[in-house]
Amino acid sequence: MVINPKEEMRLAAIRGLYDYREDIPEIVEKLVEIHNDVNNFDRESSEPVPSRDAIIRIIHQFRRILFPGYFAPVKLDKVSLQYYLGQEAVLLFEQLSHQITLCLKSDNAGKGLSCVYCDEQGREEAIRFMKQLPELKVLLTKDVQAGYEGDPAAGSLDEIILCYPGILAVTVYRIAHHLYRQNIPLMPRIISEYVHGLTGIDIHPGANIGASFFIDHGVGVVIGATADIGNRVRIYQGVTLGALAIPKEDVERLRTKKRHPTIEDDVIIYAGATILGGETVIGAGSVIGGNVWLTESVPPGTKVFIKKPELILKGSSR
């Protein structure tokens, strides 16, 4: 009788003659080798990467500062509000400036540059960002209001702030957008991909979005880096504001060009609509119907619907 090697090894293992753990050192050795060989582990001498976990904690700090009545873990009143916000602000500054510094260093290291002032710059950018928090708060209040007015199913402002993924996504987008405009590398993207994972809403931090913006349901929404969106715009799940497919050879040339559409004030875009191209402008007050596919501009006040595709109905007897 011939025993196949695998079965033989298993029997040996049961008899205590073979311990699978003994194979581990060889695996480790190969992994070490690979890491060096393919230049995957070339971070050795460079700066530590920013911590995704720390940055996610920072997002929640922002939320507590921006909506303390909803997310602060303590009761807030006129006695405690100032202490609470002050304490959170101090902690935010420490952590934000540290992570910005790591992002700057990591970015410089990637370009082969050293970074003499990165610590100082991290602190400067952090405080610069934090100075915008008050107006950010005002802006977010309008988004919440827009959500309440736009969705008749919303029971209360509380419901909007506590539950709506659209509000979470817009809050985090506005934070990421400010960091993006300060040219902080990496952090805006880490932030926006985090909330993308939570909500299924993918807004590139580079997009410009006006006041009173509302996304309902939201899963599958994609908003590209050079999209421009006016005030009081409302969009639904599955809406894409994307780029036209471009030939590979033009990629580099188009990198800095506007590739995503412009949506003017007071536009509504229903579920599943796709609007593509940097020169596409949806005029103010337009309504874009569900599943519409648009690569051209429409003038203000236009209503666009698909002519529904023909259906085939067959009675079944089963």
The DSSP secondary-structure symbol of 22 reads G
Nearest to 300, CA basis, from 222, 209, 230:
230
- Alpha carbons within 13 angstroms on the beta-carbon side of residue 239 total 27
Q: SS3 letters for 248-284?
A: HHHHHHHCCCCCCCEECCCCEECCCCEEECCCCEECC
Give yes or no for residue 208 binding its own copies (CB under 8 A).
no
97 binds its own copies (CB under 8 A): yes
Min separation Cβ 2 and its own copies, Å: 19
* Residue 231 contacts its own copies per CB under 8 A: no
Q: How far is the CB of 59 from its own copies (least distance, A)?
A: 14
Instruction: Decide whether 83 or 208 has the Cβ nearer to its own copies.
Output: 83
Q: How far is the CB of 70 from its own copies (least distance, A)?
A: 6
104 half-sphere exposure, CB direction, 13 A CA radius: 23
Site for its own copies in 27-46 (CB under 8 A): 27-28, 30-35, 38, 40-45
Q: Tell me the one-letter amino acid at 94.
A: E
Q: Does 65 bind its own copies (CB under 8 A)?
A: yes
Number of residues assigned to the chain: 318
Cβ atoms of 225 and 206 within 8 Å: the answer is yes
CA triplet 203, 294, 246: central angle to 5 degrees?
70
- Interface with its own copies includes 156 (CB under 8 A)? yes
Q: Does the footprint of its own copies cover residue 17 (CB under 8 A)?
A: no
Q: Which one of residues 207, 227, 270, 277 is an interface residue with its own copies (CB under 8 A)?
A: 270
Q: Binding residue for its own copies (CB under 8 A) from 159, 210, 211, 297?
A: 159
Q: Is 85 in the site for its own copies (CB under 8 A)?
A: yes
- Least distance in angstroms from the C-beta of 33 to its own copies: 8
Q: Does 289 bind its own copies (CB under 8 A)?
A: yes
Q: Is 42 exposed, middle or buried (0-12, 13-18, 19+ CB in 10 A)?
A: exposed
Does residue 143 interact with its own copies by CB under 8 A?
Answer: no
Position 303 contacts its own copies (CB under 8 A) = yes
The C-alpha atoms of residue 166 and residue 313 are separated, in whole angstroms, by 36
Site for its own copies contains 59 (CB under 8 A): no
Q: Should residue 291 be labelled a site residue for its own copies when binding is judged by CB under 8 A?
A: yes
Q: Does residue 68 bind its own copies (CB under 8 A)? A: yes
